[in-house]
Structure 1
Amino acid sequence: MLASALLVGIAVLTNPASAATPAQPRTDAHVTTIAAHTAVDTRIDNLHSRLQITATQESLWQPVAQVMRDNAAAMDSLRQSRTANAHSMSAVDDLRSYGQFIDTHADGIKKLTPPFEALYNSMSDAQKHNADLIFRNDRHATTKKG
Structure 2
Amino acid sequence: MRKFAIAAIAALSIAGSGAVYAQYHRFADHMRHMRMNPEDRAAFVDARIAAVHAGLKLNADQEKLWPPVEAAVRDFAKLRIDRANARMNAGPGDSDKPEDPVARLRQRADDMGATSTALNKIADAADPLYKTLDDGQKRRLAVLTRHQGPFGGEGGWHHRFMEHRMDRMMERGMDRFHGGDRDGGPDRDGGRL
Please list every run of 5 or more consecutive structure 1 residues that lacks an aligned counterpart in the other structure: 1-32
Which residue of structure 1 aligns with residue 63 of structure 2?
Answer: 58
Normalising to structure 2: TM-score of the pair?
0.47
Which residue of structure 1 aligns with residue 54 of structure 2?
Answer: 49
Please list every run of 5 or more consecutive structure 2 residues that lacks an aligned counterpart in the other structure: 1-37, 163-193
Aligned length: 113
Higher helix share: 1
The reply on whether 1:86 has 2:95 as its aligned counterpart is yes
**Segment of structure 1 superposing worse, 56-65 or 78-87:** 78-87
Match of 2:115 among 96, 100, 105: 105
For the aligned residues, what is the CA RMSD? 3.0
Output the CA distance in 1 between the equivalents of 2:77 and 2:45. 7
Which structure has more RCO (C-alpha within 8 Å, separation ≥ 6)?
1
Per the alignment, in what secondary structure is the counterpart of residue 122 of structure 1? coil
Output the CA distance in 1 between the equivalents of 2:75 and 2:111. 14
Match for 1:72: what amino acid?
A: A
The verdict on how the C-alpha distance between 1:134 and 1:75 changes in structure 2, with shifts beyond 3 A counting, is: closer
Which residue of structure 2 aligns with residue 121 of structure 1?
Answer: 131
Match of 1:96 among 94, 106, 118: 106
Q: Which has the greater radius of gyration?
A: 2
How far did residue 129 of structure 1 move?
4.1
Normalising to structure 1: TM-score of the pair?
0.59
